[in-house]
Structure 1
Amino acid sequence: MRNRITTRTRVATALLATTLLAAGCAGSGGGSDKDTDSSSLTKDEIYAAGVVGVSGDEGDPKDGGTLTLADYSEARSLDPTKTYGNGAAGGNATAAVYDVLMRYNQETNAFDPWLAESLSTEDRTTWTLKLRKGVKFTDGTPLDANAVMGSLGYYMKNSGYNTLLLATNIKDMKAQGSDTVVFTLNGPWATFPNMLASGPGMIMAPAAYAGGPEKFKPIGAGPFIQDAYKPAEELVLKANPGYWSGKPHLDALRFVWLGSDDARLESLAGGSVDAANLRAPQTLEKARKDGFAGIMAPSGLATMFWLNNREGRATSDVRVRQAINFAIDPQVYAERVSGGAGLPGRNIYSPSAPYFTDVKTSDYDLAKAKSLLAEAKKDGYDGKLTYIGQSDQASQTAAVTVQAMLEAAGFTVETDLLRNIADQTQRIYVTHDYDLAVSAMSIPDEDPYSRLSTNLNAQSPQNPSGYSNPEMDGLIAQLQAAEGDAATALLTKINELWQETVPGIAMGAGAFFQPWNKDVHGITSTSETLMLFGGAWKG
């Protein structure tokens, strides 16, 4: 039993690291591109997906130099099962060392071969992965079919990010010769390529994990190799001269961690760093209005509150959940917590998502909140709620704002502000000791299925709210195989069912923005807000 709980907690911590960290906290643009006036950008223009702020021919690449990234979170290990493959959790460093088999292309909303030569399917159940010939790890061994299967085996055995989805969906994987792996799934999975475009697609050399997790060595086939690491100070990676796509233009890639989004943007503007990772809405919007170019990765439910749906909790009553939802005004919350920045609203998807549709949302309505609460109180509910969040200043402001709105509807709210994410992980995912908890789901444009399945399916061990609805489970099961208009129709139904049954409180969409200075070029991205630096250059 101990091992089971430990594994569950590790995966829960990963989920919270990529949601709570990514939820964000409630100088001059001297390094930005001033050729165009960005100060009057609309919200739609600010949060447009993809590469933004780049205009004209960037010229021929130049070799040499070190690019310094003020990253969002420190990669304390280059083992992809310990540092999760997400831009909010240090995954940019692991992507630089290992690369990814496939790459999500924001411009086309498709998955392109990267380390792989191709990934094909006729029925979305059997997928054939063909590898590039001649690719080698930095220890000289081949990145072949056996290496891919060995790496994925190690990844799943050690609970890498998205292991649950992989383990429950992959029926079999077999090598066909030295350069082909055939994956047979338990059923059709339209966005399976996304798994190979993120953490699971970071292929480790057999020697990397030969001694087990405690003796792990970061050996990959990516554009960079570990050079030096000073915990809490910097991580330096040097160029891999044998990189499959050609020796990187950069001599080195340096990661630093500066604490707040404001500090990262100030350092970028001052020129002490070359690129940064931003999520706090106020800082992100300032960076765009200051004219910085970069990559924008929007997501739905970037701000939300989970409601504990489990039996015995006040919020197991749908009337109480609906009352809470009607009592909280996303617009007022955004004004008080982030000065109106962000995309407050009840739609659970990002407006930039290819599947976004307008649905009738359950918007703020104090009269409805009072009426529903009165009904619940007639049946014996005492009106009490426990709210949990963080204890920093922005989180305190958020807690006071929510408490005031709920008490205006007739609730009695006890706020419990916790010291760290580990405590919040314990309360939400392990002990389930909360009624209302600040969080995020960060539904990505490229693969809504994976987030929805993990967070809303009644059988998912990582379902944070205990939400259980057979209709929702059925819609998500259908979504796994759906594409195009069929997927959009299902996602619309999921959104409508969310509005009706209120698993949590949708507060708005947001984004991750990765800006860079005007002398930086060639950075690309893949899924999970990961940046790729193999073609980056300065000049």
Structure 2
Amino acid sequence: MKRNLQKSILLTIVSVFVVFLLAACGTTNNPSTSSDATEKSAATDKGTTSAPTHLNVALFWLGSNLDPAEEWNGWTLTRAAIGETLIQFDENMKLVPKIADTWERVDDMTWHFHIREGVTFHNGNKVTADAVKKSIERSIELNERGKATVPVASMTAEGQDLTIKTTEPYASLLGNIAEPLFIIVDTSADTSKFKSEPIATGPFMVTGYTPDQEIQVKKYDGYWGGAADVDTLTLKYIKDDSTRALALQSGEIDVASNVGRSSLALFQDKSQYTIDEIPSLRTQFVWFNTTNPLLSDPEVRRAISYGIDREMYANTLVGGQAAKGPFTSALPFGYDKITGHDYEPEKAKQLLDGAGFKDADGDGIREKDGKKLSLQLILNSAYESDSIVAAAMQSQLKEIGVQLEMTSYEDLTDHQKSGNYDLALTSINTGITGDPQYILDFYFMTGAEWNVGGYSNPKLDEVITRLHSEFDVEKRYALAAEAQQMILDDAAYMFLTYTPINIVSKSTVQGATMYPIDFYLLDRNIKVGQ
């Protein structure tokens, strides 16, 4: 089923918005068909083991600490099966029940959630609607992303019933509240300890944490879906792709996510390893710092974009698919309706000529008014695919007279937000809410949190804002396509590839499954086979 992921996502993601339409008519989700019932039945038929079972798992990213309300730390907690949200996406991008077992849209600004009975926090406290309310309020208070993605006018809790009223019609609320920022935690506990020991609801609970190194967890026997088979896990932070592969090969770890493609050949023996690789929703792309005078001219940015060969990067260097816009073709957000930049080096040269950049001194690098067209590209040193593509870009851009100097960092965040760069290469999962609004809001709106290149287009802002109150699915996709074309016409960013993702495990490990949204990794089904 997952091998037909692109078709599957296209069909099933519409179900996210069917919820909107059905709920408007008073229809409520039926959890009886969810995977939760299967999980519970499986939990009642568990065998016994003579000794505790333990697995070592490598994470490619860890975050600043374990408090899900801070920064992007919640992603670590969902990958490690420590924390859960009200609802989440399954492997086909369909919203499924989690802490909430049913939900409905009462009207354009009112949503009702029923909190599942029998869910407890890791300290044994019951999860009620009031506990959920206070957890969501905490995330909104502590994280700017929370205020922007769940614009709450009011929340009311009674028993297991939670009602959220938004400040405006907000069509993407369901997908946004599934983001790990909104992991449900027990705010009645000592929240000052959440940086190292969050009290959440997942099948595993934290027993030890060493910043920038590892997390120790054990199974939570009171988990509502049934206790996990594995007793304990060590989640090790190994940021370098090649190092993760070596650790798996040596036996230091049992499971690794995002093994570099050049290392996958080491794990082809099916008697020893299992590889689960799927197309992802992750887009590799380049920010232009539009505040740099050399890059403030859209014609220069277009020239650079025409000067790189995305098809070669995808087919030869890193796998996956050549990118056209921010959203992969697996998402029905208008990919087939937009026109991107192909590899046309002669057109690139013409555009640079027209912009006044000439190679006056014959050194192969163009200049204008005595200023060389020399640009700094920053990238993450740990990501193999980024390093490979950056080297190819450097070579190809030199052919059109653009000098690219590369600087690698272990973490790009501070450097990107400082604005002290010309181009920044990275990748993001652009389908994390099953809807285009989230990414457009946070990366492309004027002044947005992650619009670190300073790009601004008031007409684009207006189109994105219209998404907030448009509930019709096809109209939402049309607006998304219109927004993407504006971004491409301005050449505000360069979209390079849609990269595949993988999880590699020892053959004795069962239940290690790759999801398109890569903030999921483990769940209660992870176990060591016989």
Question: TM tier, shorter chain?
Answer: 0.7 to 0.9
Quote the Cα distance in structure 2 between the aligned partners of 1:356 and 1:529: 24
SS at match of 2:107: coil
Distance 1:340 1:221, change over 3 A: closer
The CA deviation at 1:47 is 8.1
Instruction: Select which of 405, 410, 414 maps to 1:420.
Output: 410
Match of 1:77 in 2: 65
Note the C-alpha offset of 1:522: 4.0
Give the 3 Å change call, closer, same or farther, for CA 48–148 of structure 1 in structure 2.
same
State the alpha-carbon separation in 1 of the partners of residues 472 and 254 from structure 2. 38
User: Which of 104, 107, 110 is the equivalent residue of 1:123?
Assistant: 107
Question: Which residue of 474, 487, 510 corresponds with 1:498?
Answer: 487
Preserved CA contact (<8 Å) 1:170 1:186: yes
The answer to whether 1:365 aligns with 2:340 is no
Kept after mapping to 2: 8 A contact 1:144/1:179: yes
> What is the TM-score of this pair, normalised by structure 1?
0.77
**Which residue matches 1:387?**
376
Q: 1:202 to 1:284 in 2, by over 3 A?
A: farther
User: What TM-score, normalized by structure 2, do the two folds share?
Assistant: 0.78
Matches within 5 A, 1:4-403: 62=47, 65-74=53-62, 77-82=65-70, 84-85=72-73, 87=75, 90-92=76-78, 96-107=81-92, 109-159=93-143, 162-166=145-149, 169-175=151-157, 177-211=158-192, 217-230=197-210, 234-268=214-248, 272-278=252-258, 280-283=260-263, 292-294=274-276, 296=278, 298-301=280-283, 303-310=284-291, 313-333=293-313, 339-355=317-333, 357-358=335-336, 359-377=338-356, 382=371, 384-390=373-379, 392=381, 398-403=389-394
- Give the direction of change, closer, same or farther, for the CA distance of 1:476–1:376 in structure 2 (3 Å limit): same
Going from structure 1 to structure 2, the CA distance change for 1:118 and 1:315 (only over 3 Å counts) comes to same
2:428 partner SS? coil
User: Could you tell me which residue of structure 1 aligns to residue 467 of structure 2?
Assistant: 479
Distance 1:249 1:306 in 2: 44
How many Å apart are 1:457 and its aligned residue? 0.5
Q: Give the residue type in structure 2 aligned to 1:342.
A: G
Higher mean alpha-carbon deviation, 389-398 vs 233-242, is at: 389-398
| Higher relative contact order structure (alpha carbons within 8 Å, sequence separation ≥ 6) | 1
1:178, distance to aligned residue in structure 2 (A): 2.1
Deviations 1:475-526 (A, max 9, x none): 3223343453333323332332233111111111113323434443345659
State the shift of 1:81 in Å.
2.9
What letter is aligned with 2:378? G
CA shift, 1:61, in A, is 5.6
The structure 2 residue matched to 1:458, chosen from 426, 434, 446, is: 446
Task: Work out the CA distance in 2 between the residues paired with 1:283 and 1:501.
Answer: 37
Please state whether the residue corresponding to 1:316 is helix, strand or coil.
coil
Structure 2 distance, partners of 1:259, 1:210, is 28
Superimposed CA distance per residue, residues 163-194 of structure 1 (whole angstroms, 9 cap, x where no aligned partner):
25236x2222222x121221111233333222
Output one character per residue of 1:66-124: Cα deviation in whole Å (capped at 9) or x when no partner. Answer: 2332222236632113472565xx3445x5223222121233x3211111122211434
Amino acid at match of 2:478: A
Q: 1:419 to 1:221 in 2, by over 3 A?
A: closer
Helix, strand or coil at the partner of 1:497:
helix
Which residue of 2 is the match for residue 22 of structure 1? none
Distance 2:174 2:269 in 1: 34
Structure 2: distance between partners of 1:426 and 1:267: 29
Greater mean alpha carbon deviation, residues 205-214 or residues 63-72: 205-214
Q: 2:421 aligns with which of 434, 452, 457?
A: 434
Residue deviations 1:249-293, cap 9 Å, x none? 221222123443334345446655332211644446886896835
User: Over aligned residue pairs, what C-alpha RMSD do you find?
Assistant: 3.6
Q: 1:268–1:487: structure 2 CA closer, same or farther, 3 Å change rule?
A: farther
Q: SS of the residue aligned with 1:84?
A: coil
Taking a change above 3 Å as real, the CA distance of residues 248 and 83 of structure 1, as seen in their structure-2 partners, is farther
Counterpart-to-counterpart distance in 1, 2:471 and 2:517: 19
Unaligned runs of 5+ in 2: 10-41, 359-367
Aligned to 1:372, what secondary structure does the other structure show? helix
Letter in 1 for 2:339: K
Contact (CA 8 Å) 1:49, 1:298: kept in 2 or not?
A: no
| Matched-pair identity in % | 22
Whichever residue aligns with residue 484 of structure 1, its letter is V
> In the TM superposition, what whole-angstrom CA distance separates every residue of 1:216-235 from its partner, at most 9, and x where no partner exists?
74212221222234555542
- Report the CA distance shift for 1:100/1:217 in structure 2 as closer, same or farther (over 3 A): same
2:17 aligned residue: none
Per-residue deviation, residues 363-393 of structure 1 (Å, max 9, x unmatched)? 1111211111112117966452422224849
Q: Are 1:281 and 1:342, in contact at CA under 8 Å, matched by a contact in 2?
A: no
Cα gap change, 1:398 to 1:308, in 2 (>3 Å): same
Q: Which amino acid aligns with 1:165?
A: A
Report the secondary structure of 1:96's partner residue. Answer: coil
2: CA distance between counterparts of 1:399 and 1:254?
A: 33
Q: 1:425 to 1:536 in 2, by over 3 A?
A: closer
- Describe how 1:519-534 pairs up with structure 2 within 5 A: 519-522=508-511, 527-534=517-524
- Check 1:134–1:91 CA distance in 2 against 1; reply closer, same or farther (3 A cut): closer
Aligned with 1:405 (options 371, 396, 403): 396
Distance in 2 (CA, whole Å) between partners of 1:232 and 1:118 is 37
2:216/2:232 contact within 8 Å kept? yes
- One-letter code aligned to 2:423: L
The equivalent residue for 1:512 is 501
1:151 shift after superposition: 1.5
Contact 1:325 / 1:505 at 8 angstroms: preserved in 2?
A: yes
Unmatched runs of 5 consecutive residues or more in structure 1: 1-40, 51-58
Say if 1:503 and 1:145 are closer, same or farther in 2 by CA, change over 3 A: same
